[in-house]
Amino acid sequence: MSHVNNLESQHNDPGFANIWQELKWRGLVHVSTDETELEKLLAGDPFTYYCGFDPTAPSLHLGNLVQLLVMRRLQLAGHKPLGLVGGSTGLIGDPRPTAERTLNTKDTVAEWVGYLQAQVRRFLSFEGDNAARMVNNLDWTAPLSAIDFLREIGKHFRVGTMLRKDAVASRLSSDEGISYTEFSYQILQGMDYLQLNRDYGCVLQTGGSDQWGNLTSGTELIRKVDGKSVHAFGTPLITNSDGTKFGKSEGNAIWLDPDMCSPYTFYQFWLNTADADVVDRLKVFTFLSRVEIEELGQAVAERPFAREGQKKLAYEVTSLVHGVEATEKVIAASAALFGNGDLSVLDERTLEAATAELPSATIGTDGLGIIDLLVASGLSESKSAARRTVGEGGAYVNNAKVTDPDAVIEQGELLHGRYLLLRRGKKNLATIEVSA
């Protein structure tokens, strides 16, 4: 994946006294260690902080994007990020609330580490005085024997405390229970923080609030072993105002990898944000200033039909993740579907993504008469209904009106040599794939 997002154009909002105040306004602080000390730390000299990402899939998703943008905001405030991709913790799996994870093979995890590192790199700057650095916890856990691990790290953890952590407690009361493997996860994450504190002077860890037990296992370990006070804060879990799960579309996760979630699908996800959620999403997922976001909030309240907030949100986040060029293509595709643009300029992948949800049919080259096409696509229920549609001027092929009921589409009119976009009236769309 190319480095598409423009880091140079990103800025924190100078209207806030410090980055901590901006993070709080954006709704990014749910839980933290000593808030007064943390604000002082963030407003002071540059320091090193980290956030970890486990390779439990070949791509990061929207929940991870929250953390990447928090990391970027802290970097823009002058601090030094460490992006940790968990080559060892990914082999274990963070305890989920309901069931044990399926362990992936070492080769799979190693491959996914590479994918995730490439994604993390796109959201941070690796140049300048506060350049980001990538780290992999396999580097310090792999050489450690089980005996050394238990003697040097395990002895500092109290089982009673470990049992009280939310992730563990919820699993203990479930039918599934929890394996010793996943129970040990918090020790490994605590050890990461200790190692990064020793190697890089790292004094802050960020993550989701559902990770709070793992975050504090690190702060507690460093206090016990080295007598140092370090910090952590957790972002809130993002929820939709209507109670549905954020970050899912049609039940599928919204991934950052364009091969797993096309830029078109990604853009449409943000465009479909509810009015009640759009301001919160702009705060969390864009670098727009408070003034800009408040203006968009006013527009959403006064002119909800114009969907100005949603359009700006979709444009900003899609540009951030997939680049401006891909975003412009998506917008052109959306317009072209409904007759406001040239379908022939869309590349095949964008066209396929834009039409993926539409009714479709596959036909042979002998069925290219307009009446047959309308019936095959399901846009007309019978040949007589199809003739009526054509006669009333409501039939379109690739956005061109067809007025002759005997018209036959030529091979040269097929998009990318095999597709046709049919439209009945203004809004009823379908695709035809022509097989040789």
d(CA 373, CA 419) in angstroms, rounded, equals: 12
391 contacts: CB under 8 Å, gap ≥ 6: 405
| Strand, coil or helix: 214 | helix
Domain containing 263 equals 248-341
> Is 176 in the same domain as 150?
yes
Q: Which of 4-8, 48-52, 270-274, 280-284 has the lowest mean pLDDT?
A: 4-8
Report which of 223, 222, 231, 158 is spatially closest to residue 191, judged by C-alpha positions: 222
> Is 315 in the same domain as 197?
no
pLDDT at 1: 37
The alpha-carbon radius of gyration of the chain (Å, integer) is 26
Within-domain flag for 37: yes
Cα 170 to the center of its chain, rounded Å: 26
- Domain with residue 422: its CATH number is 3.10.290.10
> Is 138 in the same domain as 194?
yes
Within-domain flag for 346: no
Q: Last residue of a domain, which of 235, 264, 290?
A: 235
Within-domain flag for 291: yes
Within-domain flag for 1: no
Burial of residue 1 (CB within 10 Å: 0-12, 13-18, 19+) is middle
> Is 139 in the same domain as 19?
yes
Q: Last residue of a domain, which of 191, 210, 235?
A: 235
CA 320, 122, 107 angle in degrees (round to 5)?
A: 125
> Is 158 in the same domain as 256?
no
Count of positions (residues) in the chain: 436
Within-domain flag for 375: yes
- CB distance 135 to 17 below 8 Å: no
> Is 133 in the same domain as 11?
yes
Within-domain flag for 352: no
Give residue for tokens 């549609």: 389
pLDDT at 3: 43
Q: At what angle do helices 308-322 and 263-271 cross, to 10 degrees?
A: 150
Within-domain flag for 2: no
Write out pLDDT tens, residues 91-127.
Answer: 988 888 788 888 999 999 999 999 999 999 999 999 9
Q: Say how many domains are in the chain.
A: 3
pLDDT band, residue 249 (cuts 50/70/90): confident
Q: Last residue of a domain, which of 235, 257, 290?
A: 235
Write out pLDDT tens, residues 178-215.
Answer: 999 999 999 999 999 999 999 999 999 999 999 999 99
> Is 70 in the same domain as 209?
yes
Write out pLDDT tens, residues 342-376.
Answer: 888 888 888 888 888 889 999 888 778 999 999 99
d(CA 23, CA 309) in angstroms, rounded, equals: 21
> Is 403 in the same domain as 312?
no
Which residues share a beta bridge with 53?
A: 85
- Domain with residue 76: its CATH number is 3.40.50.620
> Is 66 in the same domain as 120?
yes
> Is 261 in the same domain as 207?
no
Within-domain flag for 354: no
Amino acid identity for residue 136 in this structure: N
Q: Which two tokens stand for residue 273?
A: 């944000």
> Is 258 in the same domain as 381?
no
Write out pLDDT tens, residues 154-170.
Answer: 999 999 999 988 889 88
- Domain with residue 289: its CATH number is 1.10.240.10
> Is 181 in the same domain as 291?
no
Write out pLDDT tens, residues 37-90.
Answer: 999 999 999 999 999 999 999 999 999 999 999 999 999 999 999 999 999 999
